Amino acid sequence: MSTEAILRRIRDEAIRFVDVRFTDLRGALHHVTLAADHVDAALIEEGCMFDGSSIAGWKSVEASDMKLRPDPQHAYIDPFHAEKTLCLHCSVVEPDSGEAYVRDPRSIAARAEAHLNRISVADAAYFGPEAEFFIFDDVRIATTMNRVAHEVDAPSAAWNSDTAYAAGNKGHRPHVRGGYLPVGPMDDGQDLRSEMLTTMQAMGMQVDKHHHEAATCQHELGLVFGPLLRQADEMQKYKYVVRNVAAAYGRTATFMPKPLQGDNGSGMHVNLSLWKDGHPLFAGDGYGGLSDTALWFVGGILRHARALNAFTNPTTNSYKRLVPGFAAPVLQSWSAHNRSGCVRIPWARSARGRRIEARFPDPSANPYLAFSALLMAGLDGIEQRIDPGDAMETNLYDIPSERPGEFPMLCRSLREALDALEEDHDFLRVDDVFPAELIESYIALKWTEVTRYDTTPHPVEFAMYYSI
């Protein structure tokens, strides 16, 4: 939509407020709500001011003025506000020069797409994320000096099989790691997920399915693939809708990768493909029906996988998911169909469906940074013609214990991932897609999380060590 079209829509639809939204380094969505009668062409084209010093990892207080510049494309009506509110995603710019702020994640995604067009390898990179999430009914968290604890609960959870309820316990609930695609009454989230998809469709999003996932209380909705920047915006809308529809039902949704011990965690498998002049560049006659371009792209992702972990698996909790046996990869490996590798080649009925699937990302990732980093790693693979090595057809969860040290592993902690990013980030710096200042700021921000995690006593430590 053009600026004029936005202003016309505000008038014609009697919109009362305009919500301008942006994303911080961690991936959290923020917003400022403007009265619609104060929104004019200058505001949409030039932006509005806000305090950047209040956003973690951004400006210091003595140089805090920043500007939000709305993107008039893909504006949508917020379905959760009582007053009619039009939402616009924004990039963050410097107020004096109008140039993109180097630590703005959305600007990184725009630079990644611009870099792709400049090098002429392809003219489009499509991303199809599959973000899983958990829905609970009660969540309690304590992190005080003398008490560190958490507890989650839901009537549909596997651990409530013998809980006494006033209306009786009906007994239908998924078992641990046994919740994949059941029908009702075992699946109690059908109407909730359907409303999530209906809401997304009303917002102009392209969605195709929903279902219960393998873990107890775990779910997934399907987003149709799209270009990098657009899809990162859609991922932010996806999370927003999931959380708010759950709240409307009196429930709570989380994209935390591993909220439960002993059950599957939540991944965000990312399907990727490159296109040029309307033709799929990943289709060929190589292994898995892939072209040399696709194989080199896979090689780039595998070579840089440990550095990518810092963006695709950006929390200390992420590495409680990346363990053997819980449908998440642990080795830097690939193959067709094999779901235990970190890159999989899904079956496709035609060349147009040929793609690769990165299975190690999780939904705690900032989508702008994660998608951009995956693209840059793959493009480095194409540039360097990196051989991905032999495809692995066996169950890879058995390999680390049977032949330790023989195969390279993904990172096992956020600490390892940050160290890997510090050592391997030249592929991100190409064409200044990821400015050095952003990488440094991101690493510093994430180290504060590692330090807090490392210095906080854990309940399992009391169980193991209190009586020693």
What residues are labeled active site?
Answer: 51, 130, 132, 213, 220, 269, 339, 357, 359
pLDDT of residue 406: 66
What are φ and ψ of residue 234, in 5° steps?
Answer: -65, -35
Beta partners for 138? 153
Domains of the chain: 3-101 (3.10.20.70), 124-465 (3.30.590.10)
For residue 64, report the phi and psi dihedrals to the nearest 5 degrees. Answer: -95, -15
Contacts with 1 (C-beta within 8 Å, 6 or more apart), sequence order:
9, 72, 73, 74, 75
The number of beta carbons lying within 10 Å of the beta carbon of residue 267 is 28
One-letter amino acid identity for 321? R
Helix axes 305-312, 292-303, angle to 10 degrees: 70
Token readout for 34 is 């403007």
In what helix (H) or strand (E) does residue 150 lie, and over which residues does it extend?
Answer: strand 147-153
**Tokens, residue 345:** 């080649």
Q: Answer yes or no: is 269 a known binding residue.
A: yes
Per-residue pLDDT of the chain (468 residues; tens, 9 = 90+): 789 999 999 999 999 999 999 999 999 999 999 999 999 999 999 999 998 888 988 977 667 789 999 999 889 999 999 999 999 999 999 998 989 999 999 999 999 999 999 999 999 999 999 999 999 999 999 999 999 999 999 999 999 999 999 999 999 999 999 999 899 999 999 999 999 999 999 999 999 999 999 999 999 999 999 999 999 999 999 999 999 999 999 999 999 999 999 999 999 999 999 999 999 999 999 999 999 999 999 999 999 999 999 999 999 999 999 998 787 898 899 988 776 789 999 998 899 999 999 999 999 999 999 999 999 999 999 999 999 999 887 776 666 555 556 678 999 999 999 999 999 999 999 999 999 999 999 999 999 999 999 999 999 999 999 999
State residue 230's pLDDT score.
Answer: 97
Tell me whether residue 132 is annotated as binding. Answer: yes
Beta-carbon neighbour count of residue 78 at 10 Å?
Answer: 19
Q: Which helix (H) or strand (E) holds 208?
A: strand 207-212
CB 428 within 8 A of CB 376: yes
User: Could you tell me which residues come within 8 angstroms of residue 262 by beta carbon, excluding any fewer than 6 positions away?
Assistant: 176
Is residue 361 within 8 A of residue 270, CB to CB? The reply is yes
| 265 assigned binding-site residue | yes
Q: Is 45 annotated as a binding residue?
A: no
Judge whether 218 and 154 are in contact, CB under 8 Å. no
Six token digits for residue 55: 């956003």
264 has binding-site annotation: yes
208 annotated to a ligand binding site: yes
Distance CA 318, CA 298 (A): 22
Angle ∠(31,72,18) on CA atoms, nearest 5: 40
Which residues, at least 6 apart from 32, have a Cβ–Cβ distance to it below 8 Å?
19, 20, 48, 50, 68
Query: Cα(86)–Cα(21) distance, rounded to whole angstroms?
Result: 11
How far apart CA 292 and CA 298 sit, in angstroms, is: 10
Please tell me whether 4 is known to bind a ligand.
no
Let me know: does 22 contact 14? Beta carbons within 8 Å.
no
Q: Is 213 annotated in some ligand binding site?
A: yes
